[in-house]
Amino acid sequence: MKRVFLIGNPNVGKSALFSRLTGIDVICSNYPGTTVEYCKGYIKAGDEKIEVIDVPGTYSLYATSKAEEVAVKMLEEGADIVINIVDSTNLERNLNLTLQLLKKNIPVIVALNFWDETKHKGISIDVKELEKLLGVPVVATCARTGEGIKELIDRLKEARSKTYEFVEEEKWKEIGKIINRVQKLSHKHHTFLDQLSEISIRPLTGILFALIVLYITFKIVRFIAEGLILLIEPIFNEYYVPFISNIVEKTIPIKFLQDLLLGTTHKVMESFGLLTTGLYIPFVAVLPYILSFYIVLGFLEDIGYLPRVGVLLDVFLHRIGVHGYTSIPILLGFGCKVPGMLATRILETEREKMIATALILMMSPCMPQTAMIISLVSPYGIRYLFLIFSILFFIAIINGFILHKILKGETPELFVEIPPYRLPYIPTLIKKLWIRLKAFLQEAVPMIIFGVFIAGVLDIFGITNFIAKIFGKPLIWLFGLPKEIVPVMILGFLRKDVSIALLTPFNLNIKQILIASVFMVLYLPCIATFFTLLKEMGPKRTAKIIFLMLFTAIFVSALLNLVL
Amino acid sequence: MKTKTDVTQLNEGQKAKVVEIHGGCGLIKKLDTLGIRPGVEIKKIGSQILKGPQILKIANTYVAIGFGMAKKIIVEKI
C-alpha cells in the first residue's frame, strides 16, 4: 500500500486537511504544536487504497529539534508521496520547506491551504505559474470548507521529485525569485482581528485583556455547567432514581445485589449504588463541567488566543525554569491531565518537560476533580474554592522553583510563531468537542462506575473499616481527618473524582474538606495519568515525580492542618 | 552610515532591516526557519516587561522571541 505523508510548517492546517481527506476526526486548533502524535488514516484514489499519515509540523528538514528529527527519519524510511501543505498567507517562509522537500527523492504535491484567507489579506497567488516553476502539482485548498480536496486526491499520481535544482546557499534568492513571479500583494487595512491581535500581545493592554478573558472564561464555564446541573439534577432525582429503585426492588430479590445497585441509603450522593451514585457522578456532577470547559477551551484554541497567553506569562514562567509556551499544556491539564502531559512534547528539553509535568500535576486538578470539589465546597461559599486553587497554585510554583534550582541545565528561550486570530468555524468546534466528550464517555465513565463498584464492595464486606483501623492513626494525627477516609484515598488512584465524591457521607467540616481536597489533588496521579507519565517519562523519572507529589501532599496537608 | 542596534532597542512600531545575527549555527538556522535572516525587513510590535519576549512581524508572520535571542539580532533602523 502506498503511504502519503502530510508535511508542512506548524499551524498550516495539516490536521484539518487530514480530517478532510480521511474522514477521521482529529483535534485541530489554531496554534503550533496541536499534533504531537502521528495519525494514520486511509483514502481511496480510484481503486487504490492509500495510507495517509499526519506528521507534526516542522519548519525545516535540518532537524534542529527533536520533533523535526523524527519527521525527517520517518520521511526517509517510508514515504511514497509527500503532500506538502503550505500556508498561502505566508508563502515565502513556507516555500523554504517545500524546496527542501523537492531535494529529496520523494514525489511531492503542494497544497496551498488557507486559500480563502488570501483574499481578505490582499494576497493573490498565480497557482499555474507556481506549478510551472516548481515542476510539481500545486492545488489551492481550504481544509475548513473542503475546497480543493478532491483535486488534491485526483492529482496525487502527478506528484514528482527532484524537479527543482538550486544551491543551498542561494535558497532565499531562489524563493525570492519565485515569490516575485507568482505573488502580488495589495495593501489592505488592518482588520478588527489584526487590531485585537496587537492589543492582546502588547504588555499593558495584553495583561488587562488576559484578565478579562480569564474572568469571562470562568463565568461562562460556571454559567453553562450550573445551568445544566439545575436542569439535569431534578430529572435524575425525581424521575430516574424512583424509577430505577422500583425496577430493581421488584426484579432482584437479593438484598446484597440491591445494595450494590442502589446503595444503602436514599441520598444519591451518599448511597454509593452503581445505578444511583455511579451514574450521578459522571452524568450529573461531572459531565456539565466537562462540556462547558471544553466549549470555552475549544473556542479559545480555535480563535488562536493560547499562544498569546504563553507570551504574556513567559517572564513569570522563566523564573521557574520553563518558557511561556508551557502554559498551554497546563491549561489543557485543567481539562484532563493526559492530553496536558502529551502536549509537553512541544517543549525542547527533558528538564523543561520534567518541570512542566510537575506543574501540570500539581497546579491543574482535572475538570472531573474540579467539578466534584465545586459540588462539595460551594455550599460553604465560593471563597473556599478560590482558597483551594490558590493553595495548589502556590504549591506548584514553589515546587517548580525548587526543581528549577535543583535540575541542571538552562531554560531555553521562547521562540514561537503567534498565529493570526481566526474566527472559529462552528462545525470544527463541535467536532472537537465531540472527540473530547467521547474520550470522557468511553474512558472515564466506565472507570467512575467501576470505582463506585469497588467502593460499594469494600463497604459491604467491611473491608473499609478494616483498612481504616490499620492506617487510620496517622491520618487523624497528621491531617485531622477521620480514619474512615483511608479507603477513599486509596480509590483516588482509580479516579480522583470518585474519591472526592466519596467524601460526602462523612459530613466533614470545611477545614477537613479543604485539607482532603488538596491532599487528593496532589498525592498520586490517577491511573490513566500514571500510565501516560510512565510512557512519556520512563520509570525512573515517573518514580521521582510520584515521590515528589506524595511528599508534597503529606507535607502541605499536615501544614494546613496546623495553620488553618 | 545608519546606526546599528539590536531588536530589543527598537521602539514599538519601528521598522528595521536585519543586518546580522550574532550567534551560532543553531540560532541562525532556527531564526532562518521563521524567515529572520540578514536582509529581511522586520517590524517590532512590542515587548513584554522585565526583559520578556519581543514580538516581531516578518512579512505576514508574528513571532515571539526570548529577550536573549532578540539581543543577538542586529538591525538597522529604516
Sole residue written with cell 536582509:
B39
Chain A residues with CB within 8 Å of chain B CB: 59-60, 62, 64, 89-90, 92-93, 96, 121, 123, 172, 197-198, 201-203, 206, 307, 310-312, 314-315, 323-324, 412-420
**DSSP annotation string for A96-116:** HHHHHHHHSSS-EEEEEE-HH
pLDDT given for residue A162 in this prediction: 84
Q: What is the pLDDT of residues A208-263, one digit of tens each?
A: 999 999 999 999 999 999 999 999 999 999 999 999 999 998 998 888 888 888 88
Structural domain range at position B41: 4-77
- Cα–Cα distances (Å) from A235 to A231, A245, A431, A556, in that order, read 7, 14, 28, 40
Chain A residue with Cα closest to B26: A64
Q: In this structure, are residues A116 and A88 in contact, taking their beta carbons and an 8 Å threshold? A: no
Task: Tell me the ipTM for this assembly.
Answer: 0.92
B62 to A202: CB separation less than 8 angstroms, yes or no: no
**B69/A89 touch (CB, cutoff 8 Å), yes or no:** no
Over 70: is that where the pLDDT of A524 sits? yes
Instruction: Dump pLDDT digits (tens) for A510-521.
Output: 999 999 999 999
In A252-286, where does DSSP find H-type helix?
Answer: 255-262, 268-271, 277-279
pLDDT of residue B1: 54
Residue range A167-188: average pLDDT?
88
For residue A87, the SS3 value is strand
The answer, yes or no, to whether residue A530 has pLDDT greater than 60, is yes
A471 or A282, which is more confident: A282
Please indicate whether, in this complex, the C-beta atoms of A201 and B50 are within 8 angstroms of each other.
no
Give the Cα separation of A134 and A91 in Å (integer). Answer: 13
Chain A residues closer than 8 Å to B26 by CB: 64
Quick check: A413 and B51 CB within 8 A? no
Angle ∠(B16,B19,B23) on CA atoms, nearest 5: 120
Q: What is the model's pLDDT at position B59?
A: 83
| pLDDT higher than threshold 80 for residue A286 | yes
- CA atoms of A334 and A217, how far apart (whole Å): 13
What is the share, in percent, of chain A residues with pLDDT greater than 90? 52
Domain count of the fold of chain B? 1
Q: Is the pLDDT of residue A117 over 80?
A: yes
> What CATH number should be reported for the domain holding residue B25?
2.30.30.90
Q: What is the rounded CA–CA span in Å between residue A210 and residue A551?
A: 34
Q: Looking at residue B29, what is its pLDDT?
A: 85
Contact call for A64 and B29, based on CB within 8 A: yes
Q: A542-554, pLDDT tens digit by residue?
A: 999 999 999 999 9
Burial level of A348, CB count in 10 A (0-12/13-18/19+)?
middle
Is A96's CB within 8 Å of B33's CB?
yes
Closest by CA position to A30, among listed A388, A350, A347, A428: A428
Q: Does B24 touch chain A (CB under 8 A)?
A: no
Q: In this predicted structure, what is the pLDDT of residue A56?
A: 84
Angle at A36 between CA A30 and CA A42, to 5 degrees: 90
CA distance linking residue A474 with residue A489, whole number of Å:
13
Residue A189 has pLDDT above 80, yes or no: no
- Domains, chain A, ordered by start: 2-185 (3.40.50.300), 201-563 (no CATH)
Q: Give the Cα separation of A78 and A128 in Å (integer).
A: 30
CA distances in angstroms from A170 to A162, A167, A176, B19, listed in the order given: 17, 5, 10, 17
Q: Tell me if A315 and B60 make a contact (CB, 8 A cut-off).
A: no
What average pLDDT does this structure show over A358-382?
Answer: 92
pLDDT tens digits, one per residue of A21-63: 988 888 777 777 777 777 888 988 778 899 998 888 888 887 6
The model's pLDDT over B22-43, given as tens digits with 9 standing for 90+, comes to 988 888 888 888 889 999 999 9
User: How confident is the model over A452-467, as pLDDT tens digits?
Assistant: 888 888 877 878 778 8
Q: Whole-number mean pLDDT of chain A? A: 89
pLDDT band at residue A288 under the 50/70/90 scheme: very high
pTM for the model: 0.90
